Amino acid sequence: MSLKNKKSEKVIENKKTDSKEILATLKDITKEYDSGSVKVKALNGVDLTIYKGVMHVILGQSGCGKTTLLNIIGGLDSATSGTFVFEGEDQSELNEKGMTAYRRDKVGFIFQSYNLMPELTVKENVDFIAGICKEPLNTKDMLKSVGIDDLSKKYPSQLSGGQAQRVAIARALVKNPKIILADEPTAALDYATSVEVLGVIREIVKKGATLVMVTHNEEIAKMADSVIRMKDGKIVSVTDNESPCSADELHW
């Protein structure tokens, strides 16, 4: 199916995701920040559908609003206006306690800077997150799933960048989340390590996870199921990859 909305010039081509179950919808989302006497609009009427078991990649240059959008999906920020419905529940109506529960129980985060606790071992970092969740998965199993079960007793300072990011992925997975959000997860890594980490992420999605990743790296879009392009606080296109490539086929 192809649709072009003349008013917004938004191109939507959904072929694979049409058959997928909807996890969340965002409708007419805006986000404004005060900058002195001036209001800065980071998001300007964003509409987006997130599907279960799909790898969504949001592309755009710095300042386009992609991280702001990710933060709203993750409950780290709230929209100025618009509605965000997750599993049938309007997140716009949640108070701070409700948003905290949403972040804790529904969302797994993978950050660019890893956000590991330096005083804890690899296993303890993952155990800590498992300990605050309602239905966590097994720490040992999660470390094994990302290929670092042999590093469980090491500290973050003893890890390479790729190993540290794998710990971050394990921490996201152990929560047994409904959605995993990744903010430029390979930006601090070299090419070879980036490919390894992206391979791990792709395998997670193949096993049924729902993932939304923001990046400025166009090449990464080739391995996504759904590619969302943003510019000036708006989504300008949403397209599906019929045949996503593997991580080791990426080159930059």
Distance (Å, whole) CA 201 – CA 191: 15
CA angle 19, 56, 69 (to 5 degrees): 120
Residues 6+ apart with CB under 8 A from 149: 140, 143
pLDDT tens string, the chain, 252 residues long: the values are 334 443 444 555 666 676 789 999 999 999 999 888 888 899 999 999 999 999 999 999 999 999 999 999 999 999 999 999 999 999 988 899 999 999 999 999 999 889 999 999 999 999 999 999 989 999 999 999 999 999 999 999 999 999 999 999 999 999 999 999 999 999 989 999 999 999 999 999 999 999 999 999 999 999 999 999 999 999 999 999 999 999 999 999
Residues facing residue 33 across a β-bridge = 40
Token pair listed for 83: 């509605």
| Residue 232 DSSP one-character state | T
Sheet strands (E) in the chain: 2-5, 10-13, 22-35, 38-51, 55-59, 81-86, 89-90, 107-110, 179-183, 211-215, 226-231, 234-240
Q: Are 173 and 182 in contact (CB under 8 A)?
A: no
For the chain, which domains are there?
10-15+53-243 (3.40.50.300)
Q: What residue type is 185 in one-letter code?
A: P
Distance (Å, whole) CA 193 – CA 161: 8
CA distances from 121 to 124, 166, 189, 218 (A): 5, 13, 21, 35
